[in-house]
Each structure stands twice: as C-alpha cells, then as structure tokens.
A and B are shown apart, each in its own frame.
Chain A
Amino acid sequence: MSAVLQSLVNQPYKHGFVTEIESDIAPKGLNEETIRLISTKKNEPEWLLSFRLKAYQKWLTMTAPEWQNVHYPKIDFQAISYYSAPKPKKKLASMDEVDPELLRTFEKLGVPMHERAALAGVAVDVIFDSVSVATTYKEKLAEVGIIFCSISEAVQNHPELIQKYLGSVVPVGDNYFAALNSAVFTDGSFCFIPKGVKCPMDLSTYFRINTEGSGQFERTLIIAEEGASVSYLEGCTAPRFDTNQLHAAVVELIALDNADIKYSTVQNWYAGDENGVGGIYNFVTKRGLAKGVNSRISWTQVETGSAITWKYPSCILRGDNSVGEFYSVAVTNNYQQADTGTKMIHLGKNTRSTIVSKGISSGHSNSSYRGLVRITPTAENARNYSQCDSMLIGDQCGAHTFPYIQVHNNSAKVEHEASTSKIGEDQLFYFSQRGIDAEEAVSMIINGFCKDVFQQLPMEFAVEATKLLSFKLEGSVG
C-alpha cells in the first residue's frame, strides 16, 4: 500500500486518540478528574473544559426523569467507564470472521459489499474503496466552504464556531441526560454550511470514516448560515452489536435566515433479544433552532432498534415564517419500549409546524407518542397540524398517545388527528388467499401505513427503511 493510501486509511487514528485509549482506559466512575482527563487527552481549550465542568455541576444537582412511559432498572453511572466510551472496534482480518447473524442482516437489507465490510469492522484494506470515496467527497465539499468533520477535529480546527454554537440550542443543564452528555461527550459530527451554499449532496455518516469511533455520548452540531441548505443522514440501517447500555447523545441544529436543515435518522441499534435481555437505552436530546426568518428544520426518523427509545427531536421556531417538521416511524417488537415524539415551540409570527407520527407495536412491546405544541403569545398566526397513528400487531402490545397542546395566542390554528388500527386476521387471510404469505402481507401493510413518513426520506434511505421494517417484524405474525 502506498504511503498516501496508508495515511488515508489510518485517518481515524490521526490524533493518536484511539491508540492512547487502548493503553489508557480511565477507571470506572464519573467525577471531575474523569472529565479533566477526557479534556486533556483530547487537547481541548480551556473554555471547553469549563463547559464540561459546568455541565457536570448541573448534572450533580439533577435527578433522572421518571415521567416517561418506559421502565428500566436504575442506571449506575459510577459503573460506566467514560473515557473508554469511544472504544475502537476490534478489526477483523476478513469477512469470514464476521458474526454470521450480522451478515444475514446485511444480506436481507441489501447493504453493498464494501459497506458490509466497513460496518462489520473488517480490516481497512477491504474497505479501501469507501475510504477513498469518503475523501473525494470531503474535498469536493471543502471547495464550496462546507466543513464536515468529527466534532473533535472541529474543536481543534474551528474553535470559534464550536464556542459560538455548542450548547446554544441545548444548554448544558437542559435535562439530565443532556447535562451528562455535555460533561463527558467524546466525539460526534460537526457540519457547517456557509452563507448561500446549498450542500450539493446528502451528508451521511457513511462518508465520515471517523464515525466508527464515536461512542455512547455522541455530540452533533449542524449549522446552516443564511440561505444555506443541507440534508443530513444519521446512522445506518445495520444493527450495531454494541453492548453499551446507555446511549445519551445530543444533537443541535441551527438554521439562520432562509436556511434549511433536513435531518434524517434510521436507527437500528441492538434491541435486546426476544426475551428483552440486553439492548441499548437510546436517550437522546435532539433540538433544532429555526433562528432566522423563513428558516426550516425538518426531522425524519425511523426508529426500529434499541431496547428503549426515548427522544423528542424538537423545533424552536423563533424566526418569523419559520417552519418545523417532524416525521416519525417508531417500530417496537418483543419487549422493546419507545416513548418518542416532538416539541414544536412557536415563538415567531406565521410559524408553521407539521407532525406526522406512525407507531407500530408488536410482540410484548409498548410504543408511545408524546408531543408538545406550544404557541407562545408572540406567535401571531401560528399553525400546527399533528397526525398520530398507531398500529397494533397481535394482542400483547400497547400503543399510547400523549399530546400536549398549549395555545397562548388566539390567532393560532392547531389541528390534531389520531387513529389506532390493527392488522386483522381478515386482512392477512385476504392476502394469503391471493397467494401472498403473512410476512409479505405485513410488510406491505406496514409500508403502506408508513408511506407519508417514508416519502420524506432521501430515496436510498427510504429503500433501506422499507427493507428494515420487514426484517424487523419478521416472525411477528403467522
């Protein structure tokens, strides 16, 4: 391998970060020392250390929230090793060493071969193709002034942007898990689209090779300046066989005047086994600030994984005429729990928000939609439309809807529609009488049910999401 290639494929190790961790895992437990250690190891400026410490102090005064409709044993925060959080995946020599179950999943999802290797953590010479692709894109983006890198890199190379925007949408003491994240986050993504630039392609974490190292406490920051626009895709459809119990990420989006940010997620973290043992607790704070006039923030999420999903991607509509959107599909099976929804906070005049939520429950799972629409006194002529549909498969699962609507301005128009349906025996019999088996029937019904949300996803993602759903619900009927 030439020296150039060598340097490309070794990029994630650029800061000597990973190698150091391996020899230097911090003792378990969370205290000021741990935080200072993280900050020192990452060679962070002083202001970032104070940011972390301030968050930690806040966190100490807070207690874990209990209002959500999910149940889990108390988390022992002193039993987690914070510095080892972004632990490097063990590199495998060939595809033969990859867990066959994982390969079967890739097969089903139709993940391209080189991506399969990358996702399974096979040695870099195998994923060489995608690495070079990633680099090419990065150069193209840099030409138009777009910054797309890990947040650690951004701290080193663009400290002024980080200092200005980090914590500006989700303050350090916003909530229990956001405070924890602010204190101990180790990596994540940073994306900056300068004034007037329309990002020429969807930005995907696929293309950012450093992603592999980011761990339990991810931090993402996306800024679109005046007139800029970007579509950002998070995660991938492959399950991550991660044993980490807690995933507490924070995502902040900032859209200035006439800017447009579209954030799409397909989440399929390990959900635990069919008896509900294991799986990720996905406790994430995602919030977008539609700061400027005519700005737009759009969240689309397909949540199929994690033992517990608990998140409310929100929009603060501060700019006049700003628009907030939330399109969500949450699928739960076995003993999974999901409490997810959104918050639309209308501050500016003529602000509009749309919420479309589709919850699908099967097995012994529980799925809740929880959403807040708040029209503040300053939000003249605000509009909201919410639609929350639930579908039940089988009779052991549950679907719940908790809409909160607070209107403090008489000019507001708020609509809320909700429905619950069931995949009936009769529907399945109808399909089977036409030669279509139950799995395919359910997949078709579910995809029909989720159509309004899938239409919002970028094309490639939509195809994967469709396959993922069928895969997810395999064996849930018949």
Chain B
Amino acid sequence: MNDKHSTTILSVQGLRASINGTAILKGIDLTVKSGEIHAIMGLNGSGKSTFAKVLAGHSAYEVTGGSIQFEGKNLLELPPEERARAGLFLAFQYPIEIPGVANTQFLRLAYNTVQTQRGKEELDPLEFDDFVREKMKLLDMKPDFLDRSVNEGFSGGEKKRNEILQMALLEPKLSILDETDSGLDIDALKIVANGVNQIANKNNAMILVTHYQRLLDYIVPDFVHVMQAGSIVMTGGKELALELETRGYDWINANKQSVAGVIA
C-alpha cells in the first residue's frame, strides 16, 4: 500500500450536501488513492450513508458546496449512470427489488453497458452465462439465482452477495460498500469479505461504510475515518477501529481534538 506508483482516484474537498433543505454533509475532505481501502465509521445519522449516495449521484441530495474529482473528472457534473460507467460503484445498503426482471438480464445489461464504455466487446447471453457463473463461484452462489427477479424475495445475505457479484462483474475503479455487513450472519460476512478481498488490487480502491468493527476483521483497511454530524472528525489507521470498538463513540467526543491531532 501507499507505494509511490499509486495515483489519486478520488479527491473530495469541502463537500456539503443537504436533503429537503436540511444540511447533512458539512464539509468533507477525503483523498483516496489506488490500492487503498478506507473505512468510514460513525453512528447512525452521522451522514456516512449520505456521503456514499452523494458520491454516486442520488438525485434526492443537493450538493451545496465543495468539489469531487474522480480520476481527474469533475464528478458533480456527471449524472449517476455516467459516474457508474466511469468506474464508480456503490454496493447498496438496501439493494432494490425489481420484480419481473431476471437477474441474468439485469447483470448482462449492466456489464455490457460498462464494457461498451471501455471500448470492449459485449457478451451475448451464452458467453455471459459462462462468465457470470465463474464469478458466482467466488461468492458461493446457487445457479438458480440467475433466473430469479433482481433481489425479489432474496434473503439479506443473498442481496448483499448480489451486490458484490455486480462489483466483481463491473470491475470498478472505486467501490463504495454502504453497510454491506449489516444483516449478515458470520458465515455470509466471511463469504462477502472474501469476495471483496479478491476484487481489491493495487489499481482500484474501496470505501467501506460501516457501523461496526466486525467487517474490518475480514477486510483490513489502510485508513479509518470517523464521521460525526456530517464531517470527518478523526482519521487513523486500522487500530482506530479497534479503539472505537472497545471505547465506543463517546470516547471520540472527549478526545477528538487531541487524538486527531496526534494521528494527523
């Protein structure tokens, strides 16, 4: 990690955003380089999921200040689908159900859209079937999953695995995993984490948004950021997550000046 060949993938400066006139993000700064895994931790309502959605371009949020550069592009000028095609991926906290649309159909359309963007060949349904089945092994998924409607009637674990499968297919530059660990039992968590670890490499980067340290036992971050009331109040290494786990978020309030100062 942090080798001198790494390049900046994401650069967020002074990002502010609101929903229905209520300010949620109040000046976020974050730089993510290739090969890095960042964890963003914080209590419910601290703004970490909002941050994930704003990066992906959810229309419910209004960006009121700051800038986001993604691979040298001004991300704020791009609609969500172009952000996705440019290599930004969001694994949803609550993956959406789409009745009547078969998973395989959905996955292939998403895959081919991104392939086309990258100037590569599209796959026909048969080729895609072979390709996706290979990727599914990574996540220990049953073949019947392909014929089911997107996320409809999926268990929590199946939905999250489906998100990671999409990530594996689309090979994004930057993956944002929004509370991917929530609602997973320990076996499912291991499978998902294993999938993520196999996808992570020195050319891409990840942001893990999570409430708990648990996920970080399996996916080891290079940086841990603590978010509170819409801004990042503390940044540290992986040990910061453990510190939070034992001492709780209240500890941050008492120590954020000094500790943040020390680590910075």
Contacts and interface: CB of A to CB of B under 8 A. Distances in A.
A430 B95 contact: yes
A448 B100 contact: yes
Contacts of A129: none
Interface in A423-478: 424-427, 429-438, 440, 444-445, 447-451
Interface in B43-61: 56-60
A424 B98 CA distance: 10
A427 B81 contact: no
A432 B80 CA distance: 6
Contact of B92 (A424, A430, A440): A430
A426 B109 contact: no
A433 B59 contact: no
B104 interface: no
A430 B98 CA distance: 9
Contacts of A432: 57, 79-81, 84
Contacts of A427: 96, 98
A381 B119 CA distance: 61
Contact of B60 (A421, A425, A451): A425
A444 B105 contact: yes
B39 interface: no
Interface string B64-103: 0000000000000001110111000110100110111110
B209 to A, nearest CB: 15
Contact of B84 (A421, A434, A450): A434
Interface residues of B, number: 31
Interface in B138-177: 149, 166, 170
A431 B57 CA distance: 12
Given A436-B109, A436-B110, A444-B109, A429 B80 contact: yes
Interface residues of A, number: 23
Contacts of B110: 434-436
Contact of B98 (A437, A438, A448, A450): A448
Given A444-B106, A444-B109, A433 B101 contact: no
B117 interface: yes
Given A436-B81, A436-B109, A426 B96 contact: yes
A458 B98 CA distance: 26
A429 B170 contact: no
B113 A436 contact: yes
B10 interface: no
B241 interface: no
B9 interface: no
Nearest to B115: A435
A433 B84 contact: yes
Interface in B100-144: 100-102, 105-106, 109-110, 113-114, 117
A434 B166 contact: yes
Interface in A391-450: 421, 424-427, 429-438, 440, 444-445, 447-450
Contacts of B109: 434, 436, 440, 444
A425 B59 CA distance: 9
A412 B181 CA distance: 51
Interface centre among A425, A436, A440, A445 (most CB of B within 10 A): A436
Nearest to B58: A429
Contacts of B102: 448
A421 B84 CA distance: 27
A161 B56 CA distance: 67
B24 to A, nearest CB: 17
Contacts of A430: 92, 95-96, 98
A448 B106 CA distance: 11
Contacts of B59: 425, 429
A448 B149 contact: yes
A433 B90 contact: yes
13 contacts: A427-B98, A429-B56, A430-B92, A433-B56, A433-B80, A434-B84, A434-B106, A435-B113, A435-B117, A435-B170, A436-B109, A447-B100, A448-B101
Given A435-B81, A451-B100, 14 more contacts: A432-B57, A433-B84, A433-B90, A434-B84, A435-B117, A435-B170, A436-B109, A436-B110, A438-B81, A444-B98, A448-B98, A448-B99, A448-B101, A448-B102
Interface of B: 56-60, 79-81, 83-85, 89-90, 92, 95-96, 98-102, 105-106, 109-110, 113-114, 117, 149, 166, 170
